[in-house]
DNA sequence: AAGTCGAGCAACCGCATGTGC
DNA sequence: TGCACATGCGGTTGCTCGACT
């Protein structure tokens, strides 16, 4: 009521993203990081709302995304977590590095639900064992049947810390969605604590990134490359030695656009 | 070959939540 | 304290494409 919509509807593009739009968004975020989604499309030269850009980045462009089908073990884990957490897809997704809530939700609705119904677990497919009907309620109710480990993580907001390790030789200040974290005497930070854009903005610290789940993109960037990148000598995606596994859009198509597209810092 | 149907999934919508003033 | 705004989240829609008739 009286509240402005999150985005201007007039004149903004909707529907599937084009390769050029993907390229612009990707380039912009890799160049500048993410500070305010609302201004991202404007500065990146996109006729999209910030919400749409955010979704596209999170669900598709993020370089640490794991692509490909879910394994049986992952499906089992999803079923287990769903029985405990209900339709809290983001919480479930937080247990699967490289997977998005949307992906898990879609997989649940299209595959697992069917599978469970086939096995005669109709109710389980539709509802969690400990059904939580609203997000408001879920914040107030502590699920008594929640397994101790998950309960613990819920309470302490502990996240799995086995994916990305970033080692520094100097105190490190990075931001996590505008929240600054100073890792004074800490040599190791984890992916959940690091905003990638800010990571590249750290010019004075020596950083090495080692990660299995970052094999896709960032692990292939040496510090010198990212420094010159930030200094304005933009590098093309070709130089990044991309190693995306099973992308829906081949990265080759992006590199062909490099000559015709402009980067924000060249505007 | 053309039409129909359904599965899969990307993207949108609206509401909730967090934050700053 | 209340308002405005940005972002996050979950439900839903609608497009695409392959299988089938």
Q: Domain-by-domain residue ranges, chain A? A: 72-156
Task: State the pLDDT at residue A142.
Answer: 33
Residue A108, pLDDT above cutoff 60 = yes
The pair of structure tokens assigned to A170 is 């100097």
Tens of pLDDT along A71-101? 888 888 998 888 888 888 988 998 998 899 9
pLDDT of residue A53: 92
Q: Using pLDDT thresholds of 50, 70 and 90, give the confidence band for residue A11.
A: confident
How much is the pLDDT for A57? 92
Biggest alpha carbon–alpha carbon distance for chain A: 59
pLDDT of residue A127: 52
CA angle A77, A125, A148 (to 5 degrees): 40
Q: How far apart are CA A187 and CA A168, in angstroms?
A: 5
Whose CA is nearest the C1' atom of nucleotide B10? A16
Which protein residues have their Cβ less than 7 angstroms from some atom of strand B? A 6, 13-17, 48, 51-52, 55-56, 59-60, 69, 102-103, 105-107, 109-111, 114, 135-136, 139, 178-179, 248
Residues in CB range of A134: below 8 A, 6 or more apart = none
Q: What is the mean pLDDT of residues A1-11?
A: 45
- Quote helix, strand, coil % in chain A, to nearest 5: 45, 10, 45
Q: Which of A4-13, A55-64, A84-93 has the lowest mean pLDDT?
A: A4-13
Is residue A178 within 8 A of residue A35, CB to CB? The reply is yes
For residue A70, pLDDT beyond 80: yes
Q: How far is the CA of A110 from the C1' of B16 (A)?
A: 26
pLDDT at A138 over 80: no
pLDDT at A206: 28
Element (H, E) at A180: strand A179-183
- pLDDT higher than 70, residue A38: yes
Mean pLDDT within A157-177? 34
Nearest nucleotide from residue A178 CA, by C1' atom: B19
Please tell me the distance from the alpha carbon of residue A164 to that of residue A174, in angstroms, as a whole number.
15
Q: Give me the pLDDT at residue A5, please.
A: 41
Yes or no: say if A62 and A194 are a contact pair by the CB < 8 Å rule: no
Lowest mean pLDDT among A30-39, A159-168, A222-231: A222-231
Q: CA A193, CA A176: separation in Å to the nearest integer?
A: 6
Lowest mean pLDDT: which of A128-132, A148-152, A219-223? A219-223
pLDDT at A31: 83
For residues A157 and A91, what is the distance between their CA atoms, to the nearest angstrom?
A: 10
Q: CA-to-CA distance for A58 and A61, rounded, in angstroms?
A: 6
The more confidently predicted of residues A69 and A129 is: A69
Residue A106 CB in 7 A reach of strand C: yes
Contacts for A89-96 with beta carbons within 8 Å, 24 or more apart? A91/A154, A94/A159, A94/A160, A95/A160, A96/A66
Q: Which tens digit of pLDDT belongs to each residue from A206-247?
A: 232 323 333 333 323 322 233 223 222 333 333 333 333 333
């Amino acid at each position: 009521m009286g509240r402005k919509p999150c985005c201007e509807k007039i004149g903004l593009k909707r529907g599937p993203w084009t390769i050029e739009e993907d390229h612009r968004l990707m380039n912009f975020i890799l160049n500048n990081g993410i500070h305010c989604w609302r201004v991202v499309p404007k500065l990146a030269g996109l006729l999209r709302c910030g919400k749409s850009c955010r979704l596209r980045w999170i669900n598709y462009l993020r370089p640490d995304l794991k692509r490909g089908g879910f394994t049986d073990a992952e499906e089992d884990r999803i079923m287990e977590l769903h029985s405990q957490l209900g339709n809290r897809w983001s919480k479930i997704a937080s247990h699967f590095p490289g997977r998005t809530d949307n992906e898990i939700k879609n997989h649940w609705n299209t595959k697992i639900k069917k599978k469970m119904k086939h096995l005669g677990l109709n109710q389980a497919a539709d509802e969690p064992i400990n059904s939580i009907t609203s997000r408001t309620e879920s914040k107030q109710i502590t699920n008594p049947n929640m397994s101790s480990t998950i309960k613990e993580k819920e309470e302490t907001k502990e996240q799995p810390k086995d994916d990305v390790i970033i080692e520094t030789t100097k105190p490190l200040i990075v931001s996590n969605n505008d929240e600054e974290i100073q890792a004074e005497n800490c040599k190791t930070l984890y992916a959940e604590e690091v905003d990638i854009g800010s990571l590249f903005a750290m010019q004075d610290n020596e950083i090495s990134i080692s990660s299995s789940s970052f094999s896709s993109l960032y692990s292939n960037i040496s510090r010198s490359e990212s420094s010159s990148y930030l200094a304005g000598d933009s590098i093309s995606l070709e130089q990044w030695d991309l190693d995306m596994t099973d992308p829906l859009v081949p990265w080759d198509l992006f590199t062909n656009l490099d000559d015709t597209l402009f980067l924000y810092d060249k505007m």
